[in-house]
Amino acid sequence: MENRDLMKHRQGKDTVSDGLVKEALLEYNDELKLGYTPDEIRHLKVERGIHGKPYFADLNFHRQKPQIHFSVSHSESWWACLLADEPVGLDIEVNKEKVKYKEIAKRFFTEEEYTYVLKHGEEGFFQLWVCKEAFLKYRGTGLSEGLNSFSVVGNGKLLSFIKSKNDSGIDGGIFLNPIEIRAGITAAYCIKNQRKVEKISEILTVKQ
């Protein structure tokens, strides 16, 4: 069965919770007919790695059913969850006004990325930020790996593929993909195989 990636996003206060991940998974499971029962999903345990990457801790016993990976992100009142059948990393950012983006880029980005930001301004800064965050979330290392330990810019352009090594030292790479949601919000995700998000579920608004 071919899996389709799904991203679910929501606007509202106090929306970041493991319960929302399971809500997104219920939709994902139903859409793709993965075979998990609603009761199995409700009782899944969401745990976190050393650097905070969340995962479903008790899916390993389902050998006959597809594995499910996910990544969550939130900014301001926005929350998003990306689900797939392979590891993913997602970041979403509300483009805040009056951000000292040049100072941040100079301090935390590589020299080539800083040059990119100077050329493309605030929009370019957020493009790079979500890509770098998504890559670190994919890796599961968080900011411990360092934002300037890798670059998402090459020859003056935003890269769509980052060469990297896994924990075993094997060369490989990760694809970077931007996601269009709405004006004022920048998002991107990382995945090993070049696949596009095939469905973005409807926006759900929570009363403030």
pLDDT at res. 140: 87
Q: What is the mean pLDDT of each run of 10 residues along the chain (208 residues)?
A: 49 60 89 89 86 80 74 87 90 90 96 98 96 93 80 95 64 84 92 78 41
Fold (CATH) for 6-199: Ribosomal Protein L22; Chain A (3.90.470)
d(Cα 85, Cα 32) in Å, to the nearest integer?
11
Rounded Cα distance, 185 and 96, in Å? 9
CA distance 94 to 79: 11
3-state secondary structure 116-141: HHHHHHHHHHHHHHHHHHHHHHHHCC
Contact 139, 145 (CB under 8 A): yes
| Cα 32 from chain centre | 21
- Domain ranges in the chain are 6-199
- Close Cβ partners of 10 (under 8 Å, ≥ 6 residues apart): 20, 78, 79, 80, 203, 204, 205, 206
Distance (Å, rounded) from C-alpha 37 to C-alpha 114?
48
Q: Is 126 exposed, middle or buried (0-12, 13-18, 19+ CB in 10 A)?
A: buried
Q: How far apart are the first and last CA of the chain?
A: 40
Task: State how far the Cα of 109 lies from the Cα of 103, in Å rounded to an integer.
Answer: 10
Q: How far apart are CA 86 and CA 119, in angstroms?
A: 35
Name the residue type at position 160: S
Residue 43: its pLDDT value, please? 87
Which residues, other chains included, contact 101 with Cβ-Cβ below 8 Å and sequence gap of 6+? 117, 121, 122, 125, 126
